[in-house]
Structure 1
Amino acid sequence: MPWYMALGQRIATLWVVKMFGTTLGISGFFVVYFWVMHNPLREPTVMPLTPLDHWVGVNDEAMMLYGSLWFYISLAPAFAKDKAELLACARDAALMAVVGLLVFCLFPTAVPAFAVDWSQYPSLQFLKATDAGGNAFPSLHVAFAVFSAMVLARQLRSVRAPAWVRALNLLWALGIVYSTLATRQHVLLDVLGGTLLAFAVGWAGNTRGRLVWKEA
């Protein structure tokens, strides 16, 4: 069976559960995320900048990549081949969210107040008005992107997708990571923290469920 037909077959499996589950999961996450951000237990610590943070310029067009995360992360559950794989994906994503939110509660952080005239960046001005730049470390935006890239890489290998499709998956994830810096929503240390969280949860999930992730 061609790889694209195999993916189509995966999407059709439990599609109603996947659609409603992903929608409810993302919606529920946003509710808790913004509550934690607006109700910190103490004054948030401002994250320090590194030379890379100064080197990466502000990019209004990066907003498209930044916002694409919420479609990107829906692909992993959509491509789950069965109930076991879908539950494993949901479990690991939930674990990552819980760990990140606990860190935000116990050790609130925020990005610096950048000396940027946001009126010059219309897309980013809207983002700054809705997301105040709290809940900085670890970056769950990065964590979800990296985690999704790991899951999708396994899924694409299992259906023998061509190299260009697997490369596109990697580039998309890297683009989202870049966008967190270019939109000034996160700094490098946040990115590193989110990446570490994703790798830790991905490794733990892969260790627990080797049979689930066994390639077809």
Structure 2
Amino acid sequence: MNENNPQTPWYRQVAAVIPRHVYLKSIGTTLFISLFFGAYFYVLKDPAYPPTVMPKTLLDHLIGFQPMALPIYLSLWFYVSLPPALLATRRELYDYGWAMAGTCLVGLGIFYFWPTAVPAAHIHWAHYPDVDLLKHADASGNACPSLHVATAVFSSIWLHHLLRRFGAPLWVLLCNWGWCIGIVYSTLALRQHVVVDVAAGLALGVLAAHLSLRRKSAP
């Protein structure tokens, strides 16, 4: 069966692609995330300069604190593994990995040379033990641009491209964008970021995805 055959249902095409280079995909994704966390927490604890507190906007005041958003926030680490799982060749995997790495390196470089932090939320975190655990693990620094948003948007654009290539129906494409929007919302609802951080992360993710897909389609 040829998964690129337009007569083949989209879900069968997906099922045929996922097992390809499965060890490279699983080990590569795990290693990438581990390296990212190591660099992220190093920069968080030892930036070059004192952090700047990011300003709040009217939208930040309108979006209420929502601890129930924690699962969708944490789902990013599964979400970012979906695009590489749907890639068919080693060349695509390497190109995707370099593009994602470049996106993260830009963000980490900004964090190091221009450290930022979210303003105090004035919430008694002990009343929300799950969120309190997140706050202790991931302090209020490394705020702008939000790499949570940047990597979610980068992944969503690539997922949209791949799902369209498989001929996935509209409801699947909408679920992809709904998931991404939920992750973006969760960063604000959990007070991990403010709107300015989200806007900067959105710009970084869109730019990186656009450049990487344009390079991919170039002859």
Structure-2-length-normalised TM-score: 0.95
Q: Which runs of 4+ in 1 moved over 4 A?
A: none
- Single out whichever of 85-94 and 183-192 deviates more from structure 2: 85-94
1:60, 1:196 → 2: CA distance? 26
Tell me the amino acid that sits aligned with residue 148 of structure 1.
S
State the secondary structure of the residue aligned to 2:143.
Answer: coil
Q: Which residue of 1 aligns with 2:95?
A: 88
Q: Which residue of 1 aligns with 2:5?
A: none
Q: Which residue of 1 aligns with 2:158?
A: 151
- Single out whichever of 174-183 and 52-61 deviates more from structure 2: 52-61
Q: How many residues align?
A: 212
CA contact (8 A) 1:60 1:122 kept: no
CA contact (8 A) 1:47 1:187 kept: yes
2:143, 2:152 → 1: CA distance? 15
1:83, 1:40 → 2: CA distance? 35
Counterpart pick for 1:203 among 190, 203, 210: 210
Counterpart pick for 1:167 among 149, 159, 174: 174
Map 1:179-190; keep pairs closer than 5 Å: 179-190=186-197
CA-CA distance at 1:58 after TM superposition = 0.8
CA-CA distance at 1:200 after TM superposition = 1.2
Counterpart pick for 2:80 among 73, 82, 93: 73
Q: Does structure 1 residue 128 correspond to structure 2 residue 131?
A: no
2:109, 2:144 → 1: CA distance? 11
Tell me the amino acid that sits aligned with residue 183 of structure 2.
I
Q: Does structure 1 residue 39 correspond to structure 2 residue 17?
A: no
Q: Which residue of 1 aligns with 2:12?
A: 5
Tell me the amino acid that sits aligned with residue 147 of structure 1.
F
- Single out whichever of 198-207 and 128-137 deviates more from structure 2: 198-207
Show structure 1 runs of 5+ residues with no match: none
Structure-1-length-normalised TM-score: 0.96
Tell me the amino acid that sits aligned with residue 24 of structure 1.
L
Q: Deviations along 1:174-197, whole A, 9 cap, x unmatched?
A: 000000000100000000000100
2:122, 2:62 → 1: CA distance? 15
Percent identity over the alignment is 46
CA contact (8 A) 1:136 1:190 kept: yes
CA contact (8 A) 1:140 1:194 kept: yes
Q: Deviations along 1:25-67, whole A, 9 cap, x unmatched?
A: 0000000000000001111000000011111111111100100
CA-CA distance at 1:73 after TM superposition = 0.2
Tell me the amino acid that sits aligned with residue 123 of structure 1.
D
